[in-house]
Amino acid sequence: MRVIEVNDYYELSQKAAEMIIDQVRKKPDSVLGLATGETVLETYAAIVNDYQQNQTSYRHIRTFNLDEYIGLAADHPNSYHYYMNEHLFRFIDIPMSQTYIPNGLADDIPEECIRYEKLIGQCGGIDLQILGIGRNGHIGFNEPGTSFDSTTHVVELAHSTRKANSRFFSSLEEVPTHAITMGIATIMKSRQIILLASGERKAHIMSQLLEGEVTPNIPASILKTHPNVTIIADKEALSLIGKEQRKVYVQ
């Protein structure tokens, strides 16, 4: 695991976009794993900007999103389907039929999880997975305590996660209680992973992640055992890292 330290959120977004665009140019039929949340917003904006300036093509790219709320329709403004269309897909030349997001309205949700997991395999697995990190260390919606062997599954969202995500809803009650998420084993099968962390609100979890053990209590800690993980984090997110850990990880 290597950590690239950047000055601020702007630089983080530029760097992340650059690495994704690089992957797309090198392998135009790449399978990308995508995340939602606030952190990746400007990365997507930078990708759109590059598309408009340089016409990088996504025609043969396939994408798999990490997660989706259960019970929100694709056109609900807080669904991750809506988020992805709104911030990325509608601006680039990717055919919508090549963009996959778990269906949180499926009649048979456990079956949907199995289908989604299989589909990733049928597409050859994920070349590059983008991750954000929750303040409790969650990746996707894999909350603390999730088995490292988990594949795509249903989760009950932690109160802290619902509270954190309630900023996008009009009230906490409106935040769905459950979601479908790729599992930790699903994420770990990706050939390359980039995790993004920005701002002071991620400083505590970043120090726990970099200084602590590999433990299911901090789902992101498993990334330390993956052969190709890059963390892009800004100074604020790395502000609580001790000197020794800095030497080990930070470039």
Ligand X SMILES: N[C@@H]1[C@@H](O)[C@H](O)[C@@H](COP(=O)(O)O)O[C@@H]1O
Among 33, 102, 134, 219, binds ligand X (CB under 6 A): 134
Angstrom CA distances, 208 to 137, 202, 205, 215, 240, stand at: 9, 10, 5, 11, 9
Question: Would residue 142 show up in a list of annotated catalytic residues for this protein?
Answer: no
Please write down the long-range contacts of 162-166, taking CB distance under 8 Å and 24 or more positions apart: 164/134, 164/135
Q: Is residue 143 near ligand X by the rule CB under 6 A?
A: no
Catalytic residue among 5, 42, 67, 236: 67
Q: Taking Cα atoms as reference points, which of 157, 178, 187, 198 lies closest to residue 41?
A: 198
Please tell me whether residue 161 binds ligand X under the rule CB under 6 A. Answer: yes
> Does 141 contact ligand X by CB under 6 A?
yes
Contact between 35 and ligand X by CB under 6 A: the answer reads yes
Residue 55: exposure state from Cβ atoms within 10 A (0-12, 13-18, ≥19): exposed
Does position 182 interact with ligand X (CB under 6 A)? The reply is no
By CB under 6 A, tell whether 50 contacts ligand X: no
SS percent in the chain: helix, strand, coil, step 5: 40, 20, 40
User: Counting contacts by CB under 6 A, is residue 186 touching ligand X?
Assistant: no
In single-letter form, the type of residue at position 246 comes to R
Smallest separation (angstroms) from ligand X to the CB of 16: 12
Residue among 63, 79, 151, 165 that touches ligand X (CB under 6 A): 165
Give the bridge partners for 6, in sequence order: 234
Of the candidate spans 22-30, 132-140, 222-230, 232-240, the one that interacts with ligand X by CB under 6 A turns out to be 132-140
Q: What is the residue whose two structure tokens read 């995508």?
A: 34
45 binds ligand X (CB under 6 A): no
39 binds ligand X (CB under 6 A): yes
Which residue in the set 37, 104, 137, 219 belongs to the binding site for ligand X (CB under 6 A)? 37
Cα 66 to Cα 206: distance, rounded to the nearest angstrom? 20
- Residue 66 in tokens: 């990490």
Identify whether 5 is a catalytic site residue. Answer: no
* Site residues (vs ligand X, CB under 6 A): 35-39, 66-67, 132, 134, 140-141, 161, 165
